[in-house]
């Protein structure tokens, strides 16, 4: 049996390694969500940090802080999540220095001083997380007439995170 904390740990582990999320503002439509790279520090469970540009539609639609929606699918397709939280503009030079990498630098012609650079802080406050760990076994069980729903009932969790 899988408990909420195990499911949450798998979510954070996969988010840290895979990094790609669909991010949007709660006040916008789902069609306006955008793929973004979320960076997690060390082994922490949030916040996630996102380098983007001030001229991106989502950033232009933001006040200093907004309710945000996040969709996440692990590359392995064994973790799926629909999340909510707070997205905040956060151009703190110390944090930019800490998170800076060659991958990030490739997007900013003037480096850390690029006037278009916008760092965002994403504090995920809650998530609905699904694990898909036994899809092969569920398929085999179905072939033999077993009901796979029993295997999946403890692979879903509503999780509230402290922010």
Each residue's pLDDT tens digit, 37-56: 999 987 678 799 999 999 99
Burial 72-98 (b: 16+ CB within 10 A, else e): bbbeeebbbbebebbbbbbeeeeebee
- Candidates 87, 99, 98, 95; CA nearest to 34 is 87
For residue 145, which phi and psi values (nearest 5 degrees)? 85, 5
- Is residue 1 over pLDDT 50? no
Burial 7-19 (b: 16+ CB within 10 A, else e): bbebbbebbbebb
Query: What is the average pLDDT value for the chain, to the nearest integer?
Result: 87
- Is residue 33 over pLDDT 60? yes
Burial of 129 (0-12, 13-18, 19+ CB in 10 A): buried
Dist CA 79 CA 83 (whole Å) = 13
Residue 118: count of CB within 10 angstroms of its CB: 20
Token code pair at residue 83: 């999340």
- Is residue 28 over pLDDT 60? yes
Q: For the domain that residue 86 is a member of, what is the CATH number?
A: 2.30.110.10
The model carries a pTM of 0.84
Note down the domain range covering 22: 4-160
Q: State how many domains the chain has.
A: 1
Tell me, what's the pLDDT at 158?
A: 79
């Amino acid at each position: 049996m899988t408990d909420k904390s195990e499911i949450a740990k798998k979510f954070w582990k996969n988010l840290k390694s895979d990094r790609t999320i669909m991010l949007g503002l709660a006040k916008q439509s789902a069609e306006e969500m955008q793929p973004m790279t979320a960076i997690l520090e060390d082994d922490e469970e949030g916040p996630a940090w996102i380098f983007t540009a001030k001229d991106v539609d989502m950033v232009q639609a933001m006040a200093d802080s907004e309710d945000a929606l996040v969709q996440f699918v692990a590359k392995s397709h064994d973790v799926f999540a629909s999340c909510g939280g707070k997205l905040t503009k956060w151009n703190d030079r110390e944090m930019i220095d800490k998170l800076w990498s060659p991958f990030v630098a490739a997007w900013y012609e003037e480096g850390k001083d690029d006037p278009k650079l916008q760092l965002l802080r994403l504090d995920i406050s809650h998530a609905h997380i699904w694990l898909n760990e036994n899809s092969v076994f569920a398929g085999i069980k179905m072939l033999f007439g077993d009901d796979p729903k029993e295997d999946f009932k403890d692979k879903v969790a509503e999780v509230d995170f402290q922010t």
